[in-house]
Amino acid sequence: MVLYYILVPLAWIVFHIGFRVECVGRENLKKIETKGCILAPNHISAIDPVFVVITRFWGRRMVTFAKKELFEINGFLSWFFRCAGAVCVRGTKEELGIIDETVDFCKEGGTLLIFPEGTREKEGTFLPPKSGLFLIAAQAAVDVIPVRIVYHTPDGKMKPFCKVTVCYGAPIPAGQFAMESRRDMKKLRENKQLLLQKWSELG
């Protein structure tokens, strides 16, 4: 835990040298009305989580849901992601247990970082969000902050030394995610469309 508070300032310095990082809307993080919350960014690059961590900066360590492939990029990034709270939830037998623990973590005031698209965007357009985010938000009864990451390059993909903007939107209230059951497909579709709309508005 102590290592996290050492690594984040170091990552802030390194990534501000390698990129022109801009943060918009960070004040929205102070508008959360629930004890915990969920950050829900779009997903373009494998290092997207770093930009969210260094622009959020303050606060206790988050839990970050990550695919197995994220831990296979290289040894340093794998180590950094784990220190920053990343846990592998796809392709693991422990996935359901991790999700239950994360719901409790959010209820107790923790912050979850999850990329709802489930994988990186291929053609510069948003992918349909997966249901996991909305099910966790419903169980934990927490606000969700829509986050948009923009790489200012001709193809919209990450390039060294490019400008990167991380936009934090206003919280979506916890009540929006309440469902009568996990199979409430109408509510899930409504919330998926809402998140896509919020991302578009942050562009």
Could you tell me the pLDDT band of residue 180, with boundaries at 50, 70 and 90?
confident
* Domains located in the chain, CATH noted: 2-201 (3.40.1130.10)
pTM: 0.91
More confident residue, 199 or 181: 199
12-58 pLDDT per residue, tens: 999 999 999 999 999 999 999 999 999 999 999 989 999 999 999 77
157-179 pLDDT per residue, tens: 999 999 999 999 999 999 999 99
Distances (CA, A) of 25 to 17, 85, 152, 167: 22, 23, 18, 6
The 8-class DSSP code of residue 152 comes to -
- The tokens for 115 are 């990329």
Which residues have CB under 8 Å from 113's CB, separation 6+?
38, 39, 41, 49, 52, 53, 62, 63, 64, 65, 85
Strand, helix or coil for residue 128: coil
pLDDT at 80 over 70: yes
Q: What are phi and psi of 62, to 5 degrees?
A: -85, 165
Considering only CA atoms, which of 163, 122, 146 is closest in space to residue 38?
146
Helix ranges (DSSP H) in 84-163: 95-107, 132-140
Strand, helix or coil for residue 67: strand
